[in-house]
Amino acid sequence: MFAAAAVGVSTAGFSTAALSCVAFGQEAPAPTSVPAEVVPAEVVVVEVPADQTSPRGALKVLTRAMDDGDIAVAQRVMLSESDDETSWAAAMLRLSTASVTTRRASVQAFGDEGAKAIIGDAAAATAFALAAIDRSSEELQGDQALVRSSDGVEAPIELKKINGEWRVPVKVFVGDAPAEKLAETAEKMGRQADAIESFCTDMAAGKYKSPEDAAQALQLAQVKAVFGEPNAPAPTTQQSPG
């Protein structure tokens, strides 16, 4: 349960709640619950150190960096193979950071429990993602590696070793999406990040009286940012009497 498809960013498993908002134009709210962990009896779970000396460790570094909003660390782990991928990754990481800002602002405005109504249980989502990495297996093939989920349902993630450190290719997130699709999605993620940042400013100013009001406003702001304003109804023309 931790793959990413060409049509969007997966939020189950390796990615964090920060990536739960939009990918390739598909808006989705932050998770409100985390699936129960099911560990088959034959799976031996070993906690993997979060460093780039192993493929799974590199995935943990990226997961934690995105959860912390640490763009510099995330960029060091990710591997872009074209300018288009670099631009997409920059937009995705900015959106990730905006989501982290939302989490912190929500806690500041409404406390830990209130924030969950706005962003879901981010801490539980991250813990679940890290546990999924610990349950996974890796197959080394020289300077390449395949990381497979414990349930075997998701497609394996291929990592590459560069100068002695394991990196996560951007293709893990975007697949074979063409350059124009990457550019379109990067633009949408940029607009969404703008909307989230504006929402956080309003929330800090006390605009929303309850977590539920804030959650509704956040979702609406993101939908508008990605898809635009809904079409207004056409005006009706009334005939003059006589």
- Is residue 12 domain-resident? no
Domain assignment present for 5: no
86 lies in some domain = yes
Residues 6 or more apart from 91 whose CB is under 8 A from it?
185, 186, 187, 189, 190, 193
What would the DSSP string read from start to end of 82-93? SHHHHHHHHHHH
Residue 213 lies in a domain: yes
- In order along its 242 residues, the chain shows pLDDT tens digits of 233 322 233 323 333 333 323 233 333 333 344 444 544 545 567 799 999 999 999 999 999 999 999 999 999 999 999 999 999 999 999 999 999 999 999 999 999 999 999 999 999 999 999 999 999 999 999 999 999 998 877 788 999 999 999 999 999 999 999 999 999 999 999 999 999 999 999 999 999 999 999 999 999 999 999 998 766 455 555 554 44
**Start-to-end C-alpha separation, the chain:** 69
Q: How far is CA 137 from CA 11, 48, 57, 148, 226, in A?
A: 19, 11, 12, 5, 36
Phi, psi of 128 (to 5 degrees): -65, -40
Locate tokens 């539980």: which residue? 124
pLDDT of residue 153: 78
Q: How many domains does the chain have?
A: 1
Does the residue 73 lie in any domain? yes
Specify if 238 maps to a domain.
Answer: no
Region for residue 163 given its phi and psi (left: phi exceeds 0; alpha: psi -120 to 50; beta: otherwise): left
Go through 180-210 and write b for each residue having 16 or more CB atoms within 10 A of its CB, e for each that does not: ebbeebbebbbbbbebbeebbeebeeeebee
Task: Tell me the whole-structure pTM to 2 decimals.
Answer: 0.78
pLDDT confidence of residue 42: 57
Q: What's the pLDDT score for residue 155? A: 81
* Per-residue confidence (pLDDT) for residue 231, from 0 to 100: 60
How confident is the model at residue 126, as a pLDDT?
A: 92
pLDDT score recorded for residue 69 = 93
Residue of 29, 170, 27 lying closest to 90 (CA atoms): 170
Does residue 232 belong to any structural domain of this protein?
Answer: no
Residue 4 lies in a domain: no
Tell me which residue range forms the domain holding 32.
17-36+43-227
